[in-house]
Amino acid sequence: MATQGVVEAVEQLVWLLWQSAYDRPLYFLLTVIVPLGVLGVFLIYLVLHLIAPKPRAPFPSEKTYLTTNPDGTTSAPRPLPCWYDRWRAEGRLLSQEYPTIPAGFPVPAEATIEPAEVEVSIVVPAYNEEARLTAALEEMVEYLDQQFGRPTTTTTTTTTNLLPPERQDRPTQKQGKKGKRATTPHRLVFKPSSPATPTGYEILIIDDGSSDRTAEVALFFCQQHSLHDILRVIRLEKNRGKGGAVTHGLRHVRGRYALFADADGASRFSDLGRLLEGCEDVVDGSSRGVAIGSRAHLVGSEAVVRRSAVRNFLMRSFHFVLMILTPPATSRIRDTQCGFKLFSRAALPHVVPYMHAEGWIFDIEMLMLAESAPATPVLASDGSVIGTSCGIKVAEVPVEWHEVDGSKMNLVQDSVRMAIGLAVLRASWMLGVYRRRLT
Among 3.30.460.80, 3.90.550.10, 3.30.1490.270, 3.90.1660.10, what is the CATH number of 58-81+117-160+168-174+181-430?
A: 3.90.550.10
In the predicted model, what is the mean pLDDT of the chain? Answer: 82
- Of 403 and 236, which is predicted with more confidence? 236
pLDDT of residue 344 exceeding 50, the answer is yes
Give me the percent of the chain exceeding a pLDDT of 70: 79
> What pLDDT does 83 receive?
96
pLDDT of residue 154 exceeding 50, the answer is no
Model confidence at 196, pLDDT cuts 50, 70, 90, reads: low
d(CA 110, CA 306): 52
> What pLDDT does 427 receive?
92
The model's pLDDT over 13-24, given as tens digits with 9 standing for 90+, comes to 677 667 766 777
Least confident of 4-18, 108-122, 415-429: 4-18
Asked if 242 contacts 127 with a C-beta cutoff of 8 angstroms, the reply is yes
d(CA 413, CA 430): 26
pLDDT of residue 155 exceeding 50, the answer is no
> What pLDDT does 310 receive?
64
Model confidence at 68, pLDDT cuts 50, 70, 90, reads: very high
Model confidence at 191, pLDDT cuts 50, 70, 90, reads: very low
Q: What is the pTM of this model?
A: 0.80
Q: What is the mean pLDDT of residues 191-218?
A: 84
- Of 104 and 334, which is predicted with more confidence? 334
- Domain boundary assignment for the chain: 2-49, 58-81+117-160+168-174+181-430
The model's pLDDT over 282-335, given as tens digits with 9 standing for 90+, comes to 999 889 999 999 988 777 666 554 555 666 677 777 788 888 888 999 999 988
Q: What is the mean pLDDT of residues 328-345?
A: 92
> What pLDDT does 346 receive?
95
The model's pLDDT over 359-401, given as tens digits with 9 standing for 90+, comes to 889 999 999 999 999 988 877 777 777 778 889 999 999 999 8
Bridge partners for 122 per DSSP: 203, 259
> What pLDDT does 121 receive?
98
> What pLDDT does 152 receive?
73
Q: How far is CA 221 from CA 82, 133, 188, 190, in A?
A: 24, 9, 26, 28
The model's pLDDT over 26-45, given as tens digits with 9 standing for 90+, comes to 776 777 777 888 888 889 99
